[in-house]
């Protein structure tokens, strides 16, 4: 977002980047990997969130993981067409459309999922990625917007190009087939959250206000 501000003429010395906090949830569920692979998506059902491609990849992965499930948290104008696509792909028993859910319910789903997936083409800094890391589920997303500021490929998560089915299929096959890699990414994600602490956000905000 700071880069966007620079492009429209805001002087760099007038910009300060302050990250949101994610450590204010006192009681988070304990992460427990599910007995069968579960992918979880959280976001508005709009074209730039890329859920249609994820459905197509899930259909391809069914032959290797017949019990694969995709949890969809969120609603939006594309829901009806996405549900129809899932039906046409033979995924009626593999996709759970939960609609809008509370933050607490989101954490519960995250804590029983194998991977968080977000195939997005437009982001500032998605809070869903931070929430997934906070709960302990490894993240697979795209290198757009603020995502690379949070997800370092192979360290704190995994990155794949937007709507690239081949890349996403390869990434999911690798991640679903390697529990030690998933554990490594989850640990890296938790360590990354050090810069998204409440006190740090408050201190930086106060410093900007006091400098005015």
Token representation of residue 72: 């969809």
What letter would DSSP give residue 196?
Answer: G
Nearest to 121 by CA among 143, 151, 149: 143
Which stretches does DSSP call E strand in the chain?
38-42, 69-73, 95-99, 115-118, 139-141, 158-159
- pTM of whole model > 0.85? yes
**Over its length of 212 residues, how does the chain's per-residue pLDDT go in tens digits?**
788 888 899 898 888 888 877 776 668 899 999 999 999 999 999 999 999 999 999 999 999 999 999 999 999 999 999 999 999 999 999 999 999 999 889 999 999 999 999 999 988 778 899 999 999 999 999 999 889 989 999 999 999 999 999 999 999 999 999 999 999 999 999 999 888 888 888 998 999 899 88
Strand partners, 96: 71
- CATH of span 25-211: 3.40.50.2000
Instruction: Characterize 137-176 residue by residue with b for buried, 16 or more Cβ atoms within 10 angstroms of its Cβ, and e for exposed.
Output: bbbbbbebbbbeebbeeeebbbbbebbbeeebbebbeebb
Measured CA to CA, the distance from residue 125 to residue 128 in angstroms comes to: 9
């Amino acid at each position: 977002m700071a880069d966007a501000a620079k492009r429209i003429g805001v002087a760099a010395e007038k910009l300060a980047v302050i990250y949101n906090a994610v450590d204010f949830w006192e009681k988070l569920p304990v992460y427990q990997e599910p007995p069968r692979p579960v992918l979880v998506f959280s976001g508005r059902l709009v074209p730039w969130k890329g859920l249609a491609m994820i459905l197509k990849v899930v259909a391809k992965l069914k032959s290797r993981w017949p019990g694969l499930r995709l949890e969809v948290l969120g609603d939006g104008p594309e829901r009806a067409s996405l549900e129809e696509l899932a039906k046409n792909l033979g995924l009626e028993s593999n996709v759970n459309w939960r609609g809008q859910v509370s933050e607490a319910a989101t954490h519960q789903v995250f804590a029983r999922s194998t991977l968080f997936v977000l195939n997005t083409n437009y982001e500032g800094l998605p809070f869903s990625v931070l929430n997934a890391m906070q709960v302990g589920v490894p993240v697979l997303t795209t290198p757009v917007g603020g995502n690379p500021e949070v997800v370092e490929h192979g360290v704190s998560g995994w990155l794949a190009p937007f709507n690239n089915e081949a890349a996403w299929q390869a990434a999911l096959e690798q991640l679903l087939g390697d529990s030690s890699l998933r554990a490594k990414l989850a640990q890296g994600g938790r360590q990354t959250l050090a810069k998204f602490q409440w006190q740090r956000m408050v201190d930086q905000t106060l410093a900007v206000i006091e400098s005015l």
